[in-house]
Chain A
Amino acid sequence: AQSVTQLDSQVPVFEEAPVELRCNYSSSVSVYLFWYVQYPNQGLQLLLKYLSGSTLVESINGFEAEFNKSQTSFHLRKPSVHISDTAEYFCAVSVVGNTPLVFGKGTRLSVIA
């Protein structure tokens, strides 16, 4: 079975500072990796995903994540955050060839002006 650990439940950061949200996974088979974002009172939206190929993936709003197979990690980074990035971020994994996602418990990012 797969599992996902998000090491920080809450991350406060000042506006324009860099941020890293950590995600580690456990699986005995190849996986796909995802980051979803949930803004207040909304459903989840896909932020970025790793399926294969380049281990560095980027989103349209400046986030990036790097798949590290040896460390079984998929940390999310942004070099300069905005107030509008305040949200809850979920890391998720699915087994290649199968679609149910296993989610981490989430990290609440709070950007402070």
Chain B
Amino acid sequence: DVKVTQSSRYLVKRTGEKVFLECVQDMDHENMFWYRQDPGLGLRLIYFSYDVKMKEKGDIPEGYSVSREKKERFSLILESASTNQTSMYLCASSLGTTQYFGPGTRLLVL
């Protein structure tokens, strides 16, 4: 079974803090994705990566950056957290057409 893990299920941070969300997949997938999920808005793509050290902006990259130093790990970075970044963050990986999702990290920024 494909396994995508995210470092935290719940996270509370203060405005202005630098926040790291980690995602690891164990299936040697080329592609990895970060989404945020908000009620009534569905999932929106923040960044994705097709290979190590490669990254592409998604639909809402502002306020975020990413890092992919190893194939299995894709990190989402909030350089200076703001309250409007309070959300559920979902990581996914894929080799072909199907994306496999992690359990999500619910981030609260106070």
Contact = CB atoms under 8 A, between A and B. Distances in A.
A99 B94 contact: yes
Interface in A27-50: 32, 34, 36, 41-46, 49
A48 B100 CA distance: 13
Contact of A90 (B43, B45, B97): B43
B43 A42 contact: no
Q: Tell me what chain B mostly uses at the interface: helix, strand, loop, or mixed.
A: strand
Given A100-B58, A105-B40, A106-B42, A49 B98 contact: yes
B97 A104 contact: no
B101 A94 contact: no
A103 interface: yes
Contacts of A6: 42
Contacts of A106: 42
Contacts of A45: 101
Interface size grouping (class) on chain B: 20 to 34
Interface in B60-109: 90, 92, 94, 96-104
Nearest to A97: B97
B109 to A, nearest CB: 20
A51 interface: yes
A57 interface: no
A90 B40 contact: no
A106 B90 CA distance: 15
Interface string A73-113: 00000000000000000100010000111111110000000
Contacts of B33: 100-101
A43 B94 contact: no
Contact of B43 (A46, A51, A99, A103): A103
A42 B37 CA distance: 12
